[in-house]
Amino acid sequence: MLSIGIDGGGSTLRVGIFNENLECLHLHEIPETANPSSIGFAETEKRLRFSVLQTLDEAGVDFSSVRHVGAGMAGVAQNLDWLRNVLVSVLPQAEITVAPDYEIALIGAHGKRYGILVLSGTGSAACGINASGELAHSGGWGYLLGDEGSGYWLGLEMLKAVARAADGREKKTKLFVETLANLKISDPDELITWLYAPERNNRQIAKMASLVLSAASHGDSVANKIIESGADHLYQLYMSVVKRLNFADPPVMFAGGLLSSETPLRRLLMQKIGLN
């Protein structure tokens, strides 16, 4: 009896096949978003179907042997029935369980349905489950309404800072120079052409967060200001969940590329929460 696990985040889609002992027999991963808020439901369904079928083909597994499917994906919190229906159409014989990406990340991080998770990757969110099994989340509104403290947000704030510096409204620091060099442009006015190009996407902007983190590590004042603001936003997400679940000193875990390793953003957020 086999199971399939699906993790669809803002930047990567992973499909794994597992045996009865939850040992991963095969993992298929593509560096693309499966968030319908970013690429639309039709394209998300197309990528999801293709990835599941390709994973089965690569592993030499017949779809009829799959008995359970668990899927957690970004951008589907309000559309879980849609996700379930897509998976049922691909694997009609399997028992389907679906959830938002932040819920499966919390359970995976803590190993149980209890605690708080703060996530900062392409997007940002916080969620928690208390001893009564109540779930609350904050953030996850997407790049137009929120995602403060995320990779996309840091990248965009950096580009805004470059625009202000070009106008003389903000100091030109090393971050200004490194941003133009990274984008391979010599004139700040070219930033408009780069940002509004039809092929530009959220993932490309989110990847630029690494420039902000690196500059902040080297003491760049503008970068540090952006990181400080990002950490404040993530702390607000955390506190919103704490208050709504009446938590007292809850266990906290981090997820997402910006918080999964040692970064200035992670250090500041830990200080604000009181984890060090």
The predicted-structure confidence for 10-59, as pLDDT tens digits, reads as follows 778 899 999 888 888 899 988 888 888 778 889 888 988 989 999 998 98
Torsion on CA atoms 122, 263, 146, 236, rounded to nearest 10: 150
Residue 246: domain span: 151-273
Distance CA 177, CA 175 (A): 5
Estimate the crossing angle of helix 221-244 against helix 209-217, to 10 degrees.
Answer: 110
- State whether 105 and 187 are in the same domain: no
What tens digit of pLDDT does each residue of 115-138 get? 999 999 888 999 999 999 899 999
pLDDT at 143: 83
pLDDT at 148 > cutoff 90: yes
Q: Which of 58, 86, 111 is the last residue of a domain?
A: 111
- State whether 177 and 99 are in the same domain: no
H/E run at residue 152 = helix 151-167
What pTM did the predictor assign?
0.80
Is residue 119 in a domain? no
Q: Which of 111, 139, 171 is the last residue of a domain?
A: 111
Decide if 213 contacts 219 (C-beta within 8 A).
no
- State whether 191 and 265 are in the same domain: yes
User: Number of folded domains in the chain?
Assistant: 2
For residue 225, the domain's CATH number is 3.30.420.40
Q: Which of 79, 111, 143 is the last residue of a domain?
A: 111
